[in-house]
Structure formats: C-alpha cells, structure tokens
Amino acid sequence: MPDYAFEEALAGQRVAGVDEVGRGPLAGPVTAAAVILNAHDIPEGLNDSKQLGAGRRAVLYEEITTRADWAIGHASVEEIDQINILQASHLAMVRAVQGLRERPDHVLVDGRMVPAGLNILAQGIVKGDTKSLSIAAASIVAKVTRDRIMVDLAQQHPGYGWETNMGYPSKSHREALRNLGVTPHHRRSFRPVHKMLYQD
C-alpha cells in the first residue's frame, strides 16, 4: 500500500503527486491529474486506481476533490497523433500541475521519466501509484475523470463499447472499428486505426 514517506521526506514543502491514464487506448484523450494532499486530512484507503473497483474510486474521487488541491490536464487525440503518446502524456501532466491553485515546491511523478517543461523540482517514482499517497490520489482523479469522458463519448458514438472498454483495444472495440469505421476520437497514429485508414 502507498504511504506518505516520500512527502514526509520533503517536510515543509508543498508536494504534488502526478499520474496519467490513457496511454494504451485507441480512442480518447490522455488525461493527467495533479494532487497536493493536506497532510492532516488524507482520505482513508488511497491506492493505485487499478487496485480499486469503480465504486470505491468514485467515493475516493469525491473525497480527494473536496479535501485537496487538485487539477486535471488533457492532451487531445490530435496532439497525441502530432507529438506521440509519450510526449502527449507528459504535456497532460504539465498542464495538470499548472492548473493547481498553489504552485508546488516539488512534484512526485509516476514513472521513471519527469516531463520536460515542469520547471519545478521533480522526481520520477517507478510504480509511484503503489508507493506515494499523493500519486495514488492523482491516479484515482485521472482515472475517474477519463472514464467519465469515455462514457460520454460512448453515448455520442454507440457501438464501440467505450463505456466499458474506455477506448482500450478490446476484441469488441477492434471488431467495431472494422464494422463501423474510424471516428474523430480515434488515434490515427495507433497501428490498428492506422491500418484501418490506410489498408489499401
């Protein structure tokens, strides 16, 4: 389970945890969240969003967003296709940090790489969402936010199953791509979509 040790090692500093969700899907934006927890009011049960059920994530999302400083950043499908998914995920992270009410003194980033353009002291933590409470909180906020976007897009583009697969390349999503074609929300630089468009 994640704990507050990384944050406590930076005592007296405003520490933001940052995580992103949505690198793997064939459709939809990549979404990042930044969270600065209140050390005296940390919600119980924070964990890597992938370890939590949807109901528990929704409850924790409400607790985090009412008790912490938080912000969301996105990179669009167009940006993903232009600059690649890694750079787009870093762009979303920078936007999330820039959206915080208070500028952090230090940023804890999930993963090995620290995004260029943060212009704040930062460290990457591999599997950070299982180690740092701030990153775990960010993973929950990012996941719930992006899932809600995909459920909304699923209503506009029925048949792709985005309300359950969240744009990831499930078997039913790939079949829908073949049967229904490519939407404006599909990432054209991703191989299954690219092949659909340029198979001739």
Which residue, chain included where needed, has tokens 């009412």? 66
Structure confidence at residue 198 (pLDDT): 82
Check pLDDT > 90 for residue 28: yes
Asked if the model's pLDDT at residue 95 lies above 80, the reply is yes
Q: At 110, is the secondary structure helix, strand, or coil?
A: strand
Cα–Cα distance for residue pair 29/89, rounded to 1 Å: 9
Contact 141, 49 (CB under 8 A): no
Neighbours of 72 (CB within 10 A): 18
Asked if pLDDT for residue 196 goes beyond 90, the answer is no
Query: What domains are there in the chain, each with its CATH number?
Result: 5-144 (3.30.420.10)
- The pLDDT mean for the chain works out to 96
Cα dihedral value 5, 140, 69, 106, nearest 10: 40
For residue 199, what pLDDT band results from cuts at 50, 70 and 90? confident
Which residues lie below 8 Å from residue 68, measured CB to CB, with a gap of 6+?
35, 36, 37, 38, 137
Distance, CA of 133 to CA of 3 (rounded, Å): 5
| CA 168 vs CA 79, 129, 150: distances in Å | 18, 20, 10
> pTM for the complete prediction?
0.96
pLDDT for 197 beyond 90:
no
pLDDT digits (tens, 9 = 90+) for 153-181: 999 999 999 999 999 999 999 999 999 99
DSSP assignment of 115-164: PTT--SEEEEETTGGGTBHHHHHHHHHHHHHHHHHHHHHHHHSTTS-HHH
